[in-house]
Amino acid sequence: MANRVELTGQILATSGLRFTPAGVATVEMRLAHGSEQNEAGRPRQVVCEVEAIAFGETARKLSQSPVGSQVSLIGFLDRKSPRSSLLTVHVTDYELI
């Protein structure tokens, strides 16, 4: 079942590196995204904020990127928590741009 996101954004806020109770590295971020997309033959200006989270080695590296950094993410969507309808991008790979 497909679930893949590619997104470029600017880091607005970051939790910094933290660890789950099981000792897994994690970082949460809020990103600002802006782009022009083509929809039904018309340009659409997209401006949104996206919550992102990473675990393990990706989290260790991504947590070193300061607020203001432009990052290009690859990952998947999941709900933020079992009772939330908010979606979060789980980052599995990224690069600074």
Q: Which of 8, 4, 6 is nearest to 96 (CA)?
A: 8
81 in contact with its own copies (CB under 8 A): no
Shortest approach of its own copies to residue 66 CB, angstroms? 20
Q: Which of 18, 64, 76, 96 binds its own copies (CB under 8 A)?
A: 76
Q: Which of 12, 13, 15, 48 binds its own copies (CB under 8 A)?
A: 48
96 in contact with its own copies (CB under 8 A): no
79 in contact with its own copies (CB under 8 A): yes
Q: Which of 50, 36, 57, 37 is nearest to 89 (CA)?
A: 50
